[in-house]
Amino acid sequence: MLKFLRGLYVSFLSTISSQSGTSPTSMQSMNVDTDSDADYATPEIWEKRLRLDSARKSFWGNKKGKELSGQPIIEKEQLVNEPGDVIHIQTCTGIYGPGVEGETELRGKEDKFTIGQFNISVDWLRKAIAFTRKVKKVVNFDMIQQSRTLISDWLARELDSKVFTDLYADATNTLYAGNGTSDTTLGDGDTLTTAELDKIKLAMDRIGSIPVTVRKKNGEETNNYGVVVSELDEYNLRGDDRWLEAARNALLRSEDNPLFRGGPVEWNGLFVYTLRGLKAGGCIQGSPIRPECSLFSGGAGAAAATLNASDTTIYVGSAAITPTGQQRDFTKFFPTSGTIRIDNEDMTYTSKTYRTFVVSVRGANSTTAATHVTGSLITNRNMSRIIAFGAEIAAFGWGQHPERIEDKDDYGFITGIGIETLMGVQAIKDSQGNTPNYLVMKAWSKNPGSV
């Protein structure tokens, strides 16, 4: 409708200009934009575009399907009224009993059609951007549309983070790379290689994971699992001659080869995806697979040269963003408690904030407490948590799709625009409380350089 009305308006202006002797090209000087994005200013279309954009940008966005679809993430929309309401999602188990032969009666020998139900409790998720009237006049793009783009980027990362966080929390199957047997025994020889991928494939088969059915270009259907690794795990894989040879031989050297188009590389029935870490705008977070941040040893004041060997509050971030400035969740992907590593020192922390680690033990795991310079990389003890997945690993419920919200302050000089949504995630478990359709492998993924 807006396009139709706009067309009438432009046609009217053209008629007026021709009758008055004014050239139609002078419409440009009248600031009439015939190709503008005005249609998307309506809340309904704005919201739909934001939701579709976030799904496209999200790692799990194209791995979702409706109930009984056999996709990794089972998604359902069920309108609810408030946080704490429950969405019910159905899954279906396979049938494994024998059939009958010849004239044997089938009645009484049927398999049961078994449906599993998983309950997802939803909660509010909200995000907004504020800008002043001065900013809106200075910049040369539409703040409403730019806000949609930025919020969709944020929502994609947030939805991925919630899925990964829940999978890690509920995982009942954990492997270690190389000769590792625990977090503390992982070392330089325990990186991700093709041998570890083979170990993952065998384990997925042995725990009875449901594979994802993939239809290829020639119509052939194959059963595959997926594996999500960090960019440092990918780096280690590229040092494995078997991996490089398999990638080269998979397809001809062309744009269809995943090695060159950036898609997943297939190894022994596994599609290997890379989830890259976030490092932008003074905010280093890494990823859910491998969390990172950087040392800001100045604490609440100006950045100091070093962190002392006796300090037990570890500030993180950057000199450009102080603890009293804009809040960014630098420690987002780290567990609520655990062990961090700075240079060659391990530190056990008991709690964290968006900006600090509260350390109880310096020089943990037989390392030595030392001084560290501002900007030093902080990791989860150089450890990555690789996820291998099949079908029906998690249920994702929308109680309310993202809806646009607005607010004004200071007599309308400050405008805030954002979204609110009700959603929830739950790992899918069997009747014994296990998660048979995915597993976690922990591997050593030390940063090889200074970046």
Distance in angstroms (rounded) separating the CA atoms of residues 408 and 216: 52
> Who wins on pLDDT, 26 or 411?
411
In 3D space, the residue among 263, 237, 239 whose CA is nearest the CA of residue 250 turns out to be: 263
Distance in angstroms (rounded) separating the CA atoms of residues 157 and 178: 31
Distance in angstroms (rounded) separating the CA atoms of residues 395 and 384: 24
What pLDDT does 374 receive? 87
Q: How far is CA 29 from the centre of its chain?
A: 44
Reply yes or no on whether the pLDDT at 67 is more than 90.
no
Sequence spans of domains, the chain: 292-379
Reply yes or no on whether the pLDDT at 94 is more than 70.
no
SS3 248: helix
Per the CB < 8 A criterion, the answer to whether 66 and 91 are in contact is no
In 3D space, the residue among 389, 14, 320, 366 whose CA is nearest the CA of residue 173 turns out to be: 389
Task: Read off the pLDDT of residues 400-426 as tens digits, 9 standing for 90 and up.
Answer: 889 998 888 888 788 888 999 999 999
What pLDDT does 27 receive? 29
Per the CB < 8 A criterion, the answer to whether 183 and 177 are in contact is no
Per the CB < 8 A criterion, the answer to whether 172 and 150 are in contact is no
Distance in angstroms (rounded) separating the CA atoms of residues 69 and 90: 10
Reply yes or no on whether the pLDDT at 25 is more than 70.
no
Distance in angstroms (rounded) separating the CA atoms of residues 317 and 353: 12
Specify the range with the lowest mean pLDDT, choosing from 41-55, 74-88, 148-162, 241-255: 241-255
Per the CB < 8 A criterion, the answer to whether 277 and 296 are in contact is no
Reply yes or no on whether the pLDDT at 92 is more than 80.
no
- Helix ranges, 93-132 (H): none
What's the Rg (C-alpha) of the chain?
27
Task: Read off the pLDDT of residues 195-249 as tens digits, 9 standing for 90 and up.
Answer: 999 999 999 999 999 998 877 667 777 889 999 999 999 999 999 988 888 777 6
Give me the chain's average pLDDT, please.
80
- Helix ranges, 61-193 (H): 133-138, 143-170
In 3D space, the residue among 448, 59, 450 whose CA is nearest the CA of residue 238 turns out to be: 448
Task: Read off the pLDDT of residues 132-163 as tens digits, 9 standing for 90 and up.
Answer: 777 666 565 677 888 889 899 999 999 999 99
Q: How many CB atoms lie within 10 A of CB 446?
A: 17
What pLDDT does 29 receive? 34
Q: Residue 365 is encoded by which pair of tokens?
A: 């795991």
What pLDDT does 120 receive? 84
Task: Report in angstroms the alpha-carbon separations of 415 from 151, 269, 278, 290.
Answer: 15, 51, 28, 36
Mean pLDDT value of segment 256-268? 65
Distance in angstroms (rounded) separating the CA atoms of residues 207 and 175: 12
What percent of the chain clears pLDDT 70, i.e. is strictly above it?
75
Task: Read off the pLDDT of residues 172-201 as tens digits, 9 standing for 90 and up.
Answer: 999 999 999 999 999 999 999 999 999 999
Q: How confident is the model at residue 13 (pLDDT cuts 50, 70, 90)?
A: very low
Distance in angstroms (rounded) separating the CA atoms of residues 26 and 14: 10
Reply yes or no on whether the pLDDT at 282 is more than 80.
no
Per the CB < 8 A criterion, the answer to whether 267 and 197 are in contact is yes
What pLDDT does 251 receive? 53
Residue partners of 64: CB distance under 8 A and separation at least 6: 55, 71, 72, 73, 74, 75, 396
Mean pLDDT value of segment 304-317? 86
Cross-strand bridge partners of residue 387:
228, 440
What pLDDT does 22 receive? 40
Task: Report in angstroms the alpha-carbon separations of 408 from 9, 126, 145, 405.
Answer: 31, 17, 17, 11
Distance in angstroms (rounded) separating the CA atoms of residues 362 and 370: 9
At 13, which amino acid appears? L
At 243, which amino acid appears? W
Sign of the CA dihedral 87, 158, 127, 405? negative
What pLDDT does 432 receive? 84
Residue partners of 138: CB distance under 8 A and separation at least 6: none
Reply yes or no on whether the pLDDT at 299 is more than 80.
no
Task: Read off the pLDDT of residues 370-408 as tens digits, 9 standing for 90 and up.
Answer: 999 988 999 999 999 999 999 999 999 898 889 998 888
What percent of the chain clears pLDDT 90, i.e. is strictly above it?
42
Name the one residue in this structure whose structure tokens are 């990964």.
164
